């Protein structure tokens, strides 16, 4: 009796590994020649650094020829301070974003559509990143 149940148990355990499975893949090579020129214009211009005593209105405009912007992130140091899906936008930058006065890098990462026609691109999940940066000098420290 015990042997029968053992055999049945083994057969059932074994049968689950018998379910059909096929790991075959069809690999497609995609070569994208999409390489647009990207430019970011801002009111900070080409200054080496910008001093902030109180607060600063930062305005920017992104231009991508024949492209589509997903979103742009603004960082002060490693701190994400703003995300926008607009090609042109503005934000007030003030010393609340920092704890210690000094030089900080304001970085903009612009994510735009790759147009590679890959699987991820079709689902708007593949992007190219354009980055640009400015140096900010904070003078005021305002405790939080």
Partner 1 sequence: MKKIYCFLLVSVVCASGYGQFNGFSVTGGIGTFALSDLKTYQDALVSRLPFEARQFAYFPAYTNLRINLFKESSSGLEYGFVFAFSTTGTHANYTDYSGSLNLDQRVAAYQGGVSLSYPLLLSGNREKGFGLSAYGDLRLAFVRNNVSSVINTLYYFESNELNLSALSPMSELGLQALVHFNKISTGLEGGYLLDFNRKFSTGDQSAFDPSFSLRPSGDIRSGMSGFRIGLKVIFKILPTISEELN
| Residues near partner 1, by CB under 8 A | 1, 4-5, 7-9, 11-12, 15-16, 18-22, 24-30, 116, 118-126
| In the complex, least distance from residue 32 CB atom to partner 1, rounded to whole angstroms | 10
Distances (CA, A) of 49 to 23, 42, 102: 56, 13, 11
d(CA 39, CA 130): 9
Q: In the complex with partner 1, which residue's Cβ is closer, 84 or 114? A: 114
d(CA 98, CA 131): 21
Q: In the complex with partner 1, which residue's Cβ is closer, 56 or 69? A: 69
| In the complex, least distance from residue 5 CB atom to partner 1, rounded to whole angstroms | 7
d(CA 91, CA 55): 10
| In the complex, least distance from residue 96 CB atom to partner 1, rounded to whole angstroms | 31
């Amino acid at each position: 009796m015990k042997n029968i149940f053992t055999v049945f148990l083994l057969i059932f355990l074994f049968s689950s590994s018998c379910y059909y499975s096929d790991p075959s893949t069809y690999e497609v090579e995609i070569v994208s020649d999409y390489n647009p020129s990207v430019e970011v214009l801002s009111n900070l211009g080409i200054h080496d650094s910008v001093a902030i005593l109180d607060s600063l209105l930062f305005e920017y405009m992104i231009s991508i020829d024949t492209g589509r912007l997903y979103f742009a992130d603004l960082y002060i140091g490693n701190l994400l301070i703003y995300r926008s899906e607009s090609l042109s936008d503005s934000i007030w930058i003030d010393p609340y974003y920092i704890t210690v006065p000094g030089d900080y890098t304001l970085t903009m990462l612009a994510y735009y559509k790759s147009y590679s026609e890959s699987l991820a691109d079709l689902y708007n999940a593949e992007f190219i990143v354009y980055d640009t940066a400015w140096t900010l000098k904070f003078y005021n420290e305002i405790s939080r």
